[in-house]
Structure 1
Amino acid sequence: MSFQSPVLREYPSYKSPYGPKYHYQPHVGGYTFKQIARLGLRASAFGGVALFGVIYYASGIPRVKKDILQKIPFLGGYFIDHVPASDNPF
C-alpha cells in the first residue's frame, strides 16, 4: 500500500484554467437525457405516421368509421354515410 508523500498532501494538484472543464453528466443506461428526448421525438413521429397509415387503410371498415372516425371533431361528419340501408352492401 503506497501513501502520498507529506509534501504532496499539503499542496493540491494544479488545474489549468484553460484545460477542459469536466463535470458529471446524468444518464440512464448509458444514454443522456438529450439522447433519450431525441429518440422519443423520432419514435413518436414514426408512430404517428404509422397510426395514420393504419387508420387510413382501415377507413373502409364500417365499424372503424362508426367507432373511431365519426368521433373526430370537425372531421366526423365527413365519414357519415348517407347511402340508404337497401343500397349498402354491408
Structure 2
Amino acid sequence: MATRITHKYNPTFSGFSRQVLLRWAPNLGLWGGAIGVGALFLLEPIPRVQNVILSKLPILGDYWVRPIDPADSPF
C-alpha cells in the first residue's frame, strides 16, 4: 500500500515563515523603539526637531516651547 504525499502551502516573507516573524516581532519592536528614542535624543538640539516633534509630546512638550521675546522679533 502506497502512502499519498500531500503538499501544504506555507507562505513566507523573504524566506521567513509566519511563525518565525511572530516569534521575533516583540524583540524587533523593542529594538526599534530604543533606536527611535536614541535618535530623538541625538537630534534634540536641532530646532526643527524641537518644534515639529518634541514640543507636541503630551506631558513633556512645554519644555521645548521657546517663546520669542517681542523685542527680538523682526515683525
Deviations 1:5-31 (A, max 9, x none): xxx59xxxxxxxxxxxxxx7x553664
Tell whether 2:47 aligns with 1:62: yes
**Could you say what secondary structure the match of 2:22 adopts?**
helix
- Measure, in 2, the Cα distance between the counterparts of 1:44 and 1:55: 17
Percent identical among aligned pairs is 27
Structure 2 counterpart of 1:54, which letter? A
**Could you say what secondary structure the match of 2:41 adopts?**
helix
- Measure, in 1, the Cα distance between the counterparts of 2:39 and 2:12: 33
So what's the TM-score if we normalise by structure 2?
Answer: 0.63
| Higher Cα Rg, which structure | 1
Give the Å deviation of 1:45: 1.1
- Count of residue correspondences: 66
- Measure, in 1, the Cα distance between the counterparts of 2:20 and 2:27: 11
Structure 1 counterpart of 2:56, which letter? K
So what's the TM-score if we normalise by structure 1?
Answer: 0.54
- Measure, in 2, the Cα distance between the counterparts of 1:56 and 1:64: 10
Identify unmatched segments of 5+ residues in structure 2: 3-7
Structure 2 counterpart of 1:75, which letter? L
- Measure, in 1, the Cα distance between the counterparts of 2:29 and 2:39: 15
Identify unmatched segments of 5+ residues in structure 1: 1-7, 10-23
- Measure, in 2, the Cα distance between the counterparts of 1:66 and 1:60: 11
